[in-house]
Amino acid sequence: MSLDEEISRLQDRLGWLQGDRIELSTRLRRHEAILSPVRWAPSEILGEIFMWTLPSTFEEALDGCNFDLKRIPWVLTHVCSHWRAVASSMPSLWSLILLCYDQGVRYPLAAVQTQVERSRLLRVHFYGARDFASEEQVQMFQYLNEHSARWEELSIVLTSDLLPLLGGLRGRIPSLERLCLDWDDEEDEQAATSIDEFQTAVSLVELHLCRLRLPITFSLPRSQLTHYNIAAPWNSHRQLLSMLPSIVQARIVVIGYQTDWSISDQLLELTHLRRVYTSHMNALAFLKVSTLEQITFDRQGLVGRASLPPSLNRFLTESSATVRRIGVACIPDPRLATQILQRYPSVTELAILIDEYQTHQSEATNDLLAILPISESGPSLAPQLTHFHLASETDLQIDYDLILHILESRWESPRCTLRAATLVFNDRGATPNPEVQDRLDVLQTRGLEFSVLEQVAVHDHVVGWFCKPTWC
């Protein structure tokens, strides 16, 4: 045998051995996967792990609204037969039906049918779009209607094609607890003159109407509704609130430019109301409350005033509540803030919330903060304050010397009640100098819960102050 022939034979042999090595490595990896502890985990443990793969917030779920078999929970059924059996037997993994037609996404009916079959109670989020796949939307909603007895929440953007299908829900939604309605555009809203399909929803406790621009008659289960979140003209609010005596939490967003704020002798007496947010201060003039614990003011009717507006003065006079939590979603004049805190000495939690539209507010913010230090020589504002929050979506230049003065003066006071302070920023515009930071660290070692959160979603930390739902 020649030398070249021997080399060729050895090269063939080498190729064959390399192929064997690849095959053996593949088998080894396959068997190692079989022996992996997670494959032998009890179904209960595996199920708990699966639940942690679900989106932690609704906003996170919306980011993945495209149908994709590589997304949770579908991908869990394509690993092995054991995982498929466990995932398929967990109704809570499949309960969220998220259909975003407003983003131009199509969904296989067969996939939604599979989800419904694997679920028990259903959380239906159906965002319709009048200019996209209308027949497909109607077919999908008709199918979901067949299972409406299992709905526990419904969030829907209505189109004129979907609106008639609501009639099929009457008397067939016994488990529905949460309802959120919106319209794709004003033409779709004009198609609705009345909505009475939810009057028989015996479990309904939360009502959210994203935009109620036109006068629409609603028939609702009045006695059981506890959560109210509606954006509408003030007259619509007055009508709806007068029908809902059991409201515990209200988010009152006033829209429209021609609002009749004529003061009437007839007040809306909400005897169970505990938390309220209002976008316009004047709305408070029509409310009478006795159990209110939390109130958040926004800028309309508040900004630019140095003294209590008549609406707020009337509210404070007519209501006998002991408010514990106050939020201001703006930077009010320090003189006005002083008067509000003087009227509510029972406040234990104070939040100053600055959204992305309030730019160049650093100086005004520091002027407001200057009223908060404890004074040893005279009366102080919010003497029972235990928690202080400052959250900003703008580039805020905070005076950390002033922050330190507020915290130290309250912490060192013989009447100290302060326990925690939190600063939350999208982007921190300033940082404390080393001396201030050292003194802040000392307060922490002595027991004050002080934290600065930056480059975070401010909204997630303040949503409770705005009485917003977290599920839609």
pLDDT digits (tens, 9 = 90+) for 233-270: 988 898 889 888 899 999 999 988 777 777 666 788 89
Q: Are 158 and 93 part of one and the same domain?
A: yes
Segment 313-341 mean pLDDT: 88
Q: Are 49 and 156 part of one and the same domain?
A: yes
Q: Are 118 and 242 part of one and the same domain?
A: no
Q: Are 361 and 241 part of one and the same domain?
A: no
Average per-residue pLDDT in the chain?
86
Which residues share a beta bridge with 350?
A: 326, 388
Is 11 among the domain residues? no
Q: Are 238 and 96 part of one and the same domain?
A: no
Query: What pLDDT was estimated at residue 25?
Result: 79
Torsion of CA 411, 415, 419, 423, to 10 degrees: -60
DSSP state of 471: -
Domain boundary (274, 307, 340) is at 307
Least confident of 19-23, 158-162, 189-193, 432-436: 189-193
Segment 227-237 mean pLDDT: 91
Is 140 among the domain residues? yes
pLDDT over 80 at 36, yes or no: no
Tally the domains of the chain. 2
pLDDT over 90 at 93, yes or no: yes
Is 32 among the domain residues? no
Q: Are 156 and 172 part of one and the same domain?
A: yes
Domain boundary (243, 275, 307) is at 307
Q: What is the residue type of 246? A: S
Is 213 among the domain residues? yes
Segment 285-296 mean pLDDT: 91
Instruction: Give, to the nearest 10 degrees, the angle between helix 43-51 and helix 81-88.
Output: 70
131, with CB counted inside 10 A (0-12, 13-18, 19+), is exposed
Is 411 among the domain residues? yes
Give the whole-angstrom CA distance, residue 361 versus residue 173: 48
Q: Are 284 and 333 part of one and the same domain?
A: no
Is 65 among the domain residues? yes
Query: What pLDDT was estimated at residue 430?
Result: 64
């915290």: which residue's tokens? Answer: 407
Query: What pLDDT was estimated at residue 266?
Result: 79
Query: What pLDDT was estimated at residue 429?
Result: 60
Q: Are 41 and 75 part of one and the same domain?
A: yes
Q: Are 332 and 452 part of one and the same domain?
A: yes
Q: Are 270 and 372 part of one and the same domain?
A: no
Phi-psi region at 360: left, alpha or beta (left = phi > 0; alpha = psi -120 to 50): left
Q: Are 125 and 244 part of one and the same domain?
A: no
pTM, to two decimals: 0.85
H/E run at residue 315: helix 310-318
pLDDT 10s digits, 331-378: 888 999 999 899 888 999 999 888 766 666 778 888 888 888 887 766
Q: Are 433 and 330 part of one and the same domain?
A: yes
Segment 384-398 mean pLDDT: 85
Identify which of 1-15, 27-41, 106-120 has the greatest average pLDDT: 106-120
Is 204 among the domain residues? yes
Residue 452's alpha-carbon distances to 219, 384, 405, 438, 445, in angstroms, are: 46, 23, 16, 14, 16
Full domain range(s) for residue 285: 228-256+265-307
